[in-house]
Structure 1
């Protein structure tokens, strides 16, 4: 079975003025990759509660983050061939992705879809408990984009196998 490509975004917070700070992918082969994003000068919103969750400081983003255009180019290079990635928080992630590409002056060469579209009712009913079990079993660090994308992919795989 081919695994779906999952995309996850960590952000400066939620709501108006928030922006992407880390984007991670879990590829069809199970490998992961993630990049911190250097905030633009006009991206001022910062939620300290969000920082407590993901553990990424604004200072670290300024030091280690990649420029917006570089991250957008990387996403297009990674995803244009398959043309599709999935997210479990489509409403937020699609908004942040659009913001990233807008500021990069580029168009995405792929579509982001809601992960829910891939899931059967039995998968949905097992999703939360399966995801929690995987976090415990594997000691997965939550709220980092690459790890979260892989967790979603593993949860998809296990809930699918359980229904087979």
Structure 2
């Protein structure tokens, strides 16, 4: 079986799913070696959007961000220290919006390019993604909707989907 080197994965949690007013509140990374990094983000003074239903999903309170979050610039700096080239996510529309909002507020540019994980996958792998992801979540036993956990789940799902040997890839008896 061929082993493929894993890429870096990123995930954001946000104040809501409103693509006009929302902002990133947590970012998590899973690097190619499987190491995890995560930061809570202290909201910019102009960021006021907040969804109680989003809080119920990710479990992060706004006052926790105020007390424990790193500044926007610190988070952007950490990301730039750790990432280069292409970094992958599973919700490109939302994640690219929150990445852009973070770096714009920090008055910085990312040292990496955000891409959809679907660019890495064949049509067959895309079909297997959801079922494999559910299996990975069950196997890892990690709560979802926390950025580092979700980045780890992306990494593990990608590894399983890409490294699977399927029946149609095995040589048939006629080819031996």
TM-score, structure 1 normalization: 0.95
Instruction: Supply the RMSD in Å over aligned alpha carbons.
Output: 1.0
Q: Is the 8 A contact 1:8 1:25 kept in 2?
A: yes
**Partner residue, 2:98:** 96
**Partner residue, 2:163:** 161
**Structure 2: distance between partners of 1:92 and 1:123:** 22
Is 1:58 the counterpart of 2:56? The answer is no
Q: Which has the larger radius of gyration?
A: 2
3-state SS in 2 of match to 1:113: strand
**Structure 2: distance between partners of 1:63 and 1:71:** 15
Is 1:47 the counterpart of 2:56? The answer is no
- CA deviation map 1:71-118 (0-9, x unaligned): 0011111113xx220011111111111111111011111100111100
Is 1:72 the counterpart of 2:76? The answer is yes
Q: Is the 8 A contact 1:123 1:163 kept in 2?
A: no
**Structure 2: distance between partners of 1:112 and 1:86:** 6
User: Structure 2 matches for 1:1-164, cutoff 5 A?
Assistant: 1-15=4-18, 16-80=20-84, 83-163=85-165
3-state SS in 2 of match to 1:42: coil
**Structure 2: distance between partners of 1:27 and 1:3:** 8
- CA deviation map 1:31-74 (0-9, x unaligned): 11100000012110001111111000001111110000000011
- Quote how far apart the aligned CAs of 1:163 are: 3.9
Q: Is the 8 A contact 1:39 1:62 kept in 2?
A: yes
List 4+ stretches of structure 1 deviating above 6 A.
Answer: none
- CA deviation map 1:5-26 (0-9, x unaligned): 0000000001221000000000
**Structure 1: distance between partners of 2:140 and 2:103:** 33
3-state SS in 2 of match to 1:41: coil
| Number of positions where the alignment pairs a residue of Structure 1 with one of Structure 2 | 162
